[in-house]
Amino acid sequence: MVIPAQGRDDKLENMLRVFRHELRLIFRDPKFWIPFVIPPVILAASQGIAVSRYGGQIMEGMEGYMMLLLGCLMAPMGSPLAGDSFAGERERNSLELLQLSPIKPSTLFWGKLLAILPFPVVFSLLAQSAYWLAHPDIPAVSAVASILGALSAVLLTTAFSLMLSLRVKTVRAAAHISLFLIVPLLLLVQMFHEVFLQGLLLPVATLAASVVLCAVSVSLGLRRFVSL
Average pLDDT of the segment spanning 123-142: 88
CA 138 vs. chain centroid, Å, equals 24
> Does 31 score more than 80 pLDDT?
no
Q: What is the band of 2 on the pLDDT scale with cuts at 50, 70, 90? A: very low
Q: Whole-angstrom Cα distance, residue 105 to residue 111?
A: 10
> Does 212 score more than 80 pLDDT?
yes
- Over residues 169-178, the pLDDT tens digits come to 777 777 777 7
Terminal CA-to-CA distance of the chain, rounded, Å? 26
Give me the pLDDT at residue 119, please. 82
Give me the pLDDT at residue 3, please. 38
Give me the pLDDT at residue 33, please. 64
> Does 6 score more than 90 pLDDT?
no
Give me the pLDDT at residue 61, please. 59
pTM of the model: 0.78
Give me the pLDDT at residue 143, please. 92
- What would the 3-class secondary structure string for the chain be? CCCCHHHHHHHHHHHHHHHHHHHHHHHHCHHHHHHHHHHHHHHHHHHHHHHHHHCCHHHCCCHHHHHHHHHHHHHHHHHHHHHHHHHHHHHCCCHHHHHCCCCCHHHHHHHHHHHHCHHHHHHHHHHHHHHHHHCCCCCHHHHHHHHHHHHHHHHHHHHHHHHHHCCCCCHHHHHHHHHHHHHHHHHHHHHHHHHHCCCCHHHHHHHHHHHHHHHHHHHHHHHHHHHC
Greater confidence, 107 or 99? 107
Which of 34-38, 96-100, 112-116, 217-221 has the largest mean confidence?
A: 217-221
- Over residues 135-144, the pLDDT tens digits come to 888 889 999 9
- Percentage, residues of the chain above pLDDT 90: 13
What DSSP state is assigned to residue 58?
G
- Over residues 179-191, the pLDDT tens digits come to 677 778 888 888 8
Per-domain residue ranges of the chain: 61-227
